Amino acid sequence: MIKLAHGSGGEKTRELIEKLFLPAFKNPILEKLEDSGRLNGIAITIDGYTVKPIFFRGGDIGKLSITGTVNDLAVCGARPKAIAVSIIVEDGFPTEKLEKIVSSMAKISREVNAPIVTGDFKVVSKGEIDEIFIITSGIGEIFYPSLGADRVSAGDRIIVSGPIGDHSLAIMGERYEVELPQGFESDCAPILKLVEAITQVGGIKWMRDPTRGGLAAALNELAKAINKEILIYEDSVPFRKEVLNFCEIFGFDPYHLASEGRFIAVVDKEKSEKILSELTKFPEGKNAAIIGEVREKSKGRVIVKTKFGGLRLLDPPTGELLPRIC
């Protein structure tokens, strides 16, 4: 039986992908398990958005749906060229809400210069869907092809482009009725400009946006793919204090929280400082940080060096933290 955990982006998702989807759809592009499929200079991606609430601090499901697709392309070194959108709503959904959502989609699409060239719109009876789901597919032109887990080697540095988990807190805060400081919002935003800037420097080997399953899922996936250790320096990871407080009170691991406007880059050690300084030129990148390195030690594992100097294993998330985070 399919359970919520199968959609978490963690271990159960991985299991389903490995046991069901990969054997059935068997092909070399899919087997790379990247955020986009890459073929002949073109990248293609798809994502379903079911976030709840559909309007949240710093965005809505419309903004998220275009941003997420643009970001999936960006971390594959691709510039979005065209977007296709499928919208499914329940009977009785308010037109004004749909208008707001569509206008958010249009805004981001214009911002990144990726027109919405085709779409599909379906309405189902009340109760057959909760409000609205949006599914977005994008095609992009690859401008930085030299990315792949196979390029990562010991000594490489791990960079994050900004504070992690703000998106999760914006969503979970609402659902847990947490009082958040004024101005606190989801990090939901396109990362394309930042990616373009750092690819000018070069030396980038692998990128991923830490959405469902957060840093823990993305880094574990990488560690397994390269069969090397990822060592994370805890005191360098830019979590906001609101995120850490929330996690402490409600018993969550901040490494499991999702962002929708951040990315992880594994880069050549020599270039890491230059890349970091490029990122910090952007307002969205001002808290970017080198948070770790690749080592040969504990192969396939992610190890966190805690603030007190000890080491702990960072496992991928196993259950469903909270459904409909994106």
The footprint of a second copy on residues 7-36 (CB under 8 A) is 7, 13, 16-17, 20-21, 24-27, 29-30, 34-36
Give strand pairing partners of 294.
230
HEC states along 256-316?
HCCCCCCCEEEECHHHHHHHHHHHCCCHHHCCCEEEEEEECCCCCCEEEECCCCCEEECCC
Compute CA distances 22 → 28, 30, 180, 207, whole Å: 10, 7, 41, 22
DSSP per position, 159-188:
EESS-SSHHHHHHHHHHTT----TT-----
Indicate the SS3 state at residue 241.
helix
Q: Which of 15, 18, 39, 296 binds a second copy (CB under 8 A)?
A: 39
Closest listed residue to residue 258, CA positions, set 145, 126, 167, 163: 167
Q: If binding is defined by CB under 8 A, does position 244 make contact with a second copy?
A: no
Instruction: Give the strand order in the sheet containing 289-295.
Output: 204-208, 264-267, 157-160, 289-295, 229-233, 302-305, 311-313
Length of the chain: 326
Q: If binding is defined by CB under 8 A, does position 296 make contact with a second copy?
A: no
Q: Which of 48, 53, 148, 300 binds a second copy (CB under 8 A)?
A: 48
Q: Which of 50, 65, 71, 161 binds a second copy (CB under 8 A)?
A: 50
Q: In the complex, what is the shortest distance from the CB of residue 221 to a second copy, in angstroms, rounded to a whole number?
A: 15
Number of residues that bind a second copy (CB under 8 A): 72
Nearer to a second copy, 29 or 154 (CB): 29
Q: How many CB atoms lie within 10 A of CB 86?
A: 17
Q: In the complex, what is the shortest distance from the CB of residue 39 to a second copy, in angstroms, rounded to a whole number?
A: 6
Q: Which of 70, 74, 89, 237 binds a second copy (CB under 8 A)?
A: 89
Q: Which of 78, 112, 116, 247 binds a second copy (CB under 8 A)?
A: 116
**DSSP code, position 17:** I
Q: In the complex, what is the shortest distance from the CB of residue 229 to a second copy, in angstroms, rounded to a whole number?
A: 28
Q: In the complex, what is the shortest distance from the CB of residue 138 to a second copy, in angstroms, rounded to a whole number?
A: 9
Q: Which of 88, 164, 192, 288 binds a second copy (CB under 8 A)?
A: 88
Q: If binding is defined by CB under 8 A, does position 122 make contact with a second copy?
A: yes
Q: In the complex, what is the shortest distance from the CB of residue 165 to a second copy, in angstroms, rounded to a whole number?
A: 20
Q: In the complex, what is the shortest distance from the CB of residue 222 to a second copy, in angstroms, rounded to a whole number?
A: 18
**DSSP code, position 79:** E
Q: Find the binding residues for a second copy in span 96-115 (CB under 8 A).
A: 98-99, 102-103, 105-106, 109, 115
In contact, 254 and 323? CB cutoff 8 Å: no
Q: Residue 53: is the preceding peptide bond cis (ω within 30°)?
A: yes
Q: In the complex, what is the shortest distance from the CB of residue 5 to a second copy, in angstroms, rounded to a whole number?
A: 8
Q: If binding is defined by CB under 8 A, does position 6 make contact with a second copy?
A: yes
Nearer to a second copy, 133 or 252 (CB): 133
Q: Which of 41, 58, 64, 128 binds a second copy (CB under 8 A)?
A: 128
Q: In the complex, what is the shortest distance from the CB of residue 32 to a second copy, in angstroms, rounded to a whole number?
A: 9
Q: If binding is defined by CB under 8 A, does position 82 make contact with a second copy?
A: yes
Alpha carbons within 13 A on the beta-carbon side of 233: 12
Q: Which of 56, 93, 206, 246 binds a second copy (CB under 8 A)?
A: 93
Indicate the SS3 state at residue 252.
coil
